[in-house]
A = this chain, B = another copy of it.
Amino acid sequence: MARPAEPRRKPGRPKEADGTDLRDRILDAAELEFADHGYNGARMRDIAARAGVNPALIGYYNGSKGALYEQVIRRKGAGIDIARHANLDALLAQSPTPALRDIVRAYLQPQWDMKERGPGGAAFVRLQARLHSEPEARALRLRREVYDPAAKRYIAALAVALPHLTLEEVSLRMAFLVGTYLFMLNDLGRLGDLTDGRVAEVEKDALLDHLERFLAAGLRAD
């Protein structure tokens, strides 16, 4: 009965001998479950089962389902946001007018790295794609909070590299860019269907290269 009203999130020391905090293990499991079934399709019991944990422990460590979802999104979303800011900073440090292609790469690279970083990273990419097609209020708020700040800086950088476009046009094309890479990252495994497996042959590094060429040319159009 002595459970704290707001169960403490980070107790004095890690509770697990192997160093994996139970709270993080639950977040990992939730990430997979949310990615596979979406917010509404995910079951708290299944998340607990994936984490190998008693269902009540989710509430104990991570709060309600909604709170759990937000933690999952913010955890890796923040990493992507930081990397994007850092990449752009590095670019602007070299030159006040970076090349278009470099700006595009700076924005895409963090997502790409995450996708390569094991099944958890791939799951988060799928989760993001879902997040961007859900009109619910929570998804909308999270998107704005996590992704908009970096996006605005990149729009400004693109506007410098594309002086023939108005700011409205640059903003619009930035949205095109986001749609393209999200769709591709999410759909990569299934792209083969449309092409009878031909795309699968292309190597992953070459794939990012293709995407960058496509986007750079599109951004530069007219």
Contacts and interface: CB of A to CB of B under 8 A. Distances in A.
Interface string A197-222: 01101100001001101111111111
A16 interface: no
Given A140-B190, A183-B179, A222 B218 contact: no
A198 B40 contact: no
A96 interface: no
A109 interface: no
A126 B132 CA distance: 11
A133 B182 CA distance: 10
Contacts of A136: 37, 41
A66 interface: no
27 contacts: A36-B135, A38-B134, A39-B41, A126-B135, A132-B183, A133-B133, A133-B183, A133-B186, A140-B190, A144-B193, A148-B194, A152-B194, A167-B198, A168-B202, A171-B199, A172-B191, A175-B191, A175-B194, A175-B195, A176-B214, A179-B184, A214-B219, A215-B218, A216-B221, A217-B217, A217-B220, A217-B222
Nearest to A198: B168
Nearest to A188: B175
B171 A198 contact: yes
A41 B41 CA distance: 7
